[in-house]
Amino acid sequence: DKGNHKHFMAKEIHEQPEVVGHTLAHYIDMVHERVALPSEMPFDWKKLKRLSISACGTAFYAGLVAKYWFERFAKLPVEIDIASEFRYRDAPLEEGDLAIFISQSGETADTLASLRYAKEHKLHVLSVVNVPTSTIARDSDVVMPTLAGPEIGVASTKAFTCQLAVLACLAIAAGRARGELSEADEQKLVHALIEVPRLMTQALTLEPQIEKLAVELSKTRDVLYLGRGTSFPIALEGALKLKEISYIHAEGYAAGELKHGPIALIDEKMPVIVIAPHDRVFDKTVSNMQEVAARGGRIILVTDPKGSQESTIDSAHTLTLPEMASTVTPLVYAVPVQLMAYHTAAVIGTDVDQPRNLAKSVTVE
């Protein structure tokens, strides 16, 4: 049932404040503002030398965000791979280390093959899945469920932000167990997470503005997405979402990579969507934006009030989100990025929930 939405994807985008809230409530002791994982870990976070994360597509991008979190909060080195690469690249794995697999369906063949490979090498296997009865869940030592509810639209939306919520809690738990986060640090991080559903609701109010932008986007051939730090995976996710449902060619890049190649693509016809909350890498992203503006590129800047004040690029179209702790920006900035893809596809009239050539669960390698 799509409720009063035209597509399941729209419904699922709008459900995010609620399902992310449910997911957070499952992992957080709301009274004390501490992480409280629902199950015991069969390993000691302190003894881990390295964490390997593998997943495919959107779930892989959730893992990319998590790499920044695990390294920052827990000082735990993270290797992240696309599952189809992890399995075949002969990575030296150490017995007793941890491998995390992220999957909405829990049936993705490449992710499952990687999981079995990690088990053969005697790694502890933890999975973040949305379908608790799935093969990946059954084959894991520990399962951390996302409580997104069934996701019908082929393009993943609410499962992604719920994956981020679970991974943020895990990274905080790891940081505490490894003695890298004080109680006060943890409370601050948890407090920021608790704000996310409210911030997502505010992000959804940008929809009328995004609908207008989508009319413009629907006429373009190529779109470039840029971001730094944890906004880099959100740029990748934005590009993936746009290409899979609107069939417009899109690429996501780390903003700093612009001058190493993609800048050659920029002209007046090419929209460049810049994901840039006012965080510690904001100034760097602004200089990349200036490089785009100097070449006549059309900038759509997704930022916050401070960022919009300091960006100083007149030609930019700005989508302004509320101010928030930088840890939680990937969860909230995912919302306008999803809406841009959705409304662009809706203007073009593609089959949003069932895009051509794609399946909801990819059970062949």
Binding site for ligand F6R (CB under 6 A): 56-59, 103-105, 108, 111, 155-156, 240, 244, 361-362
Residue 1 has, within 13 A of its CA and on its CB side, a CA count of 2
Closest residue to ligand F6R, based on beta-carbon distance: 57
* Closest approach of ligand F6R to the CB of residue 361, in Å: 5
Tell me whether residue 6 is one of the annotated catalytic residues: no
CB 237 within 8 A of CB 252: yes
What phi and psi, each to the nearest 5 degrees, are found at residue 320? -105, 120
- Smallest separation (angstroms) from ligand F6R to the CB of 244: 6
Q: At what angle do helices 196-204 and 16-27 cross, to 10 degrees?
A: 170
Region of 357 (left: φ > 0; alpha: ψ -120 to 50; beta: rest) is left
Q: Which is nearer to ligand F6R, 244 or 279 (CB)?
A: 244
Query: Which residue type does 221 have?
Result: R
Q: H or E segment at 202?
A: helix 196-204
Q: Which one, 103 or 285, has the nearer CB to ligand F6R?
A: 103
Is 187 exposed, middle or buried, given 0-12, 13-18 or 19+ CB atoms closer than 10 A? middle
Rounded to 10 degrees, the C-alpha dihedral 111/112/113/114 comes to 50
Provide the minimum distance between the beta carbon of 298 and ligand F6R in the complex, in angstroms, as a whole number: 25
Taking the least distance from each CB to ligand F6R, the nearer of 136 and 299 is 136
Among 119, 188, 306, 360, the active-site one is 360
CA distance 223 to 157: 20
CB of 188 to ligand F6R, least distance (A): 30
> What are the φ/ψ torsions at residue 50 (nearest 5 degrees)?
-155, 150
- Residue closer to ligand F6R by CB (options 200, 240) is 240
* Cβ at position 83, least distance to ligand F6R in Å: 8
Residues annotated catalytic, as ranges = 360
